Structure 1
């Protein structure tokens, strides 16, 4: 019955006997075939179908026209049943998610407020990608480097961070995520609860003053002083059993100065501690006083650390 009704409508349109409302319904349906989104192959098919309909609609009573009628009758009848052209003309266009990307240079930090009012502080030499407006299902972002998060609590919309080997999921809390190349990935919780999963579906829930690290593809959990581990938020430099190579990377990231290690004189021991200093020279002075690590300025952007025998 629906197919016959639509065929009759097309016949009236073809003969020029359709009312303005009926004519508009047919034209809007034909237009919708081209405007409706889809894959390239679908859009090409729709374009060809529209062309064939418009071409054949001028030829009265041909067999080809009847075949086209049959091909589109069911879909068109459904559209007519749901409101004819008023429905067709109001097809919602697919919403494309817009993303923001924030990058920090070495020696730089940035504070970001997300669309849900959550706060992010992006540490030096890091990158974060997030939707300008979160979806209704979740708040998903991607992180490379290190960042602090203070997440607005939403019971039914989790906050999900993808960062290299880890996926961190929360409802509302304060924590940091660290994911620098060639360094151990870790998550530290300052308040609330956080669920951390890795690529092989190991999962762990951690709370305040707990830290998860990924070492040799295994999740390790330990207790930490979260305020000390996240002291970079106060512009401090934190070392924790740091090797000479790690020491050089940390100083380079914080102060944007290349650090070379001369171990030909004596090996540098692993270092631990928090050091304040707006200038790298303040930190180097402390390292020399506490650990006997001396330094030499090679040029404007490069220094060398060593320890005499």
Structure 2
């Protein structure tokens, strides 16, 4: 069954307009598709249950109570997302707001243009829910994961991002939100935002970031480097007479490895250059050649940078 046909039948099914033949065809396809693909979509049985429950809760909140078999539709959405169809429309009953759900897979980044021309860049393994049409008084979206927001100015309609129990309210600005099971951070690049959560309200200034630890309820506001914060989106590293120790900190964060220097004297070695969407090995080869150094992997995720002129 083609994706367009599947969506069409689901829309009719939600409205209760499917014929018995169409309903049977839809359910057969759902059962077949889920059984065929679930082994490649889900990491484990517990992962499958978690994702199903997360999406089911969203679908349930987005629709009026009805006897329709929404858990099967949610399962189909999960499978379709898992095999690369990242956009899904949830059609609500007449008279209610309809929403779009967008999810990304591993190593997938999506640019989303909202109805008000705001642009959201959604990082990998993330989820965004937003109405197809904003109301005349407000603009609300729900985020799980990480995203960068470039919001169109509209003084009459504040823009609000809800991430867990943390809300970020703006009129028009650019900022990044990142969340996981225990932490949520809001980093302001441009403009002004009002962040509320854990019984705290904070208006951020550009290059300020607020971190919420949901586990121990700790809150911290720090300054940040936009180039470092947005590495996941720009895929670009720029160094201008930057110390090697600072470069290592960026590389460790970007590539999730540990990099050591064999001597403290290497900390202040300076490097300049720009790297766009390059591998860690390619970056290290260029840096070490330019500084007359060498590097080697001591373990899979451990790298040592050293001076080959000295014995190790």
Q: TM-score, normalised by structure 1?
A: 0.52
Which residue matches 2:83?
Answer: none
Q: Residue 166 and residue 190 in structure 1: after superposition, are their counterparts in 2 closer, same or farther (change >3 A)?
A: same
Aligned residue in 1 for 2:114: 114
Q: Which has the higher contact order (CA 8 A, sep 6+)?
A: 1
Which of 245, 250, 255 is matched with 1:251 structurally? 255
> How many Å apart are 1:286 and its aligned residue?
6.7
The equivalences for 1:12-23 within 5 A come to none
Structure label with greater radius of gyration? 1
What do the CA deviations read for 1:3-35 (whole angstroms, capped 9, x no partner)?
A: xxxxxxxxxxxxxxxxxxxxxxxxxxxxxxxxx
Unaligned runs of 5+ in 2: 1-63, 67-92, 239-244, 261-270, 307-311
Residue of 192, 197, 201 corresponding to 2:199: 201
Distance in 1 of aligned mates of 2:210 and 2:247: 17
1:212, distance to aligned residue in structure 2 (A): 0.9
**1:185 alignment partner in structure 2:** 184
Partner of 2:164: 164
Task: Tell me, yes or no, if the aligned pair for 1:287 and 1:293 is still in contact at 8 Å.
Answer: no
Structure 1 residue runs without a partner (length 5+): 1-37, 41-92, 253-258, 264-272
Does the 8 Å contact 1:187/1:213 carry over to 2?
yes
Instruction: Report the secondary structure of 2:145's partner residue.
Output: strand
Once residues 164 and 251 of structure 2 are traced to their aligned partners in structure 1, the CA distance between those partners, rounded to angstroms, is: 22
**Structure 1: how far apart are the matches of 2:156 and 2:123?**
29
Question: Which residue of structure 1 lines up, in the alignment, with residue 208 of structure 2?
Answer: 210
In structure 1, distance between residues paired with 2:255 and 2:205: 29
Q: Would you identify which runs of 4 or more consecutive aligned residues in structure 1 move more than 6 Å?
A: 240-244, 246-249, 286-293
Q: In 2 relative to 1, CA 208–99 (structure 1 residues): closer, same or farther, beyond 3 Å?
A: same
**Structure-2 change in CA distance of 1:178 and 1:243 (3 Å):** farther
Q: Within 5 Å, which residues of 2 pair with 1:24-43?
A: none
1:243/1:143 CA distance change after superposition, 3 Å: farther
In the comparison of the two structures, how many residue pairs are matched? 202
1:156 positional shift: 2.1
2:47 is matched with which residue? Answer: none
Paired position in structure 1 for 2:17: none
Q: Which of 284, 294, 302 pairs up with 1:305?
A: 302
CA distance in 1, matches of 2:186, 2:296: 33
- What SS is found at the alignment partner of 2:232? helix
TM-score (norm 2): 0.51
Deviations for 1:216-269, whole angstroms, at most 9, x for unmatched residues?
A: 42221122233442243321369x99999x9878537xxxxxx7x799xxxxxx
1-structure distance, mates of 2:140, 2:303 = 44
Q: How does 1:130-145 map to 2 (within 5 A)?
A: 130-145=130-145
Whether the aligned pair in 2 keeps the contact of 1:275 and 1:286 (CA below 8 Å) is no
- Whole-Å Cα distance in 1 between the matches of residues 174 and 139 of structure 2? 15
Hey, what's the Cα distance between the residues in 1 that align with 2:103 and 2:232?
17
Equivalent position SS for 1:276: strand
Once the two structures are TM-superposed, the CA of residue 132 in structure 1 deviates from its matched residue by 1.2
SS in structure 2 at match of 1:233: helix
| Equivalent residue number for residue 276 of structure 1 | 275
Q: Corresponding residue for 1:127?
A: 127
Kept after mapping to 2: 8 A contact 1:127/1:144: yes
Q: 1:295 maps to what in 2?
A: 297
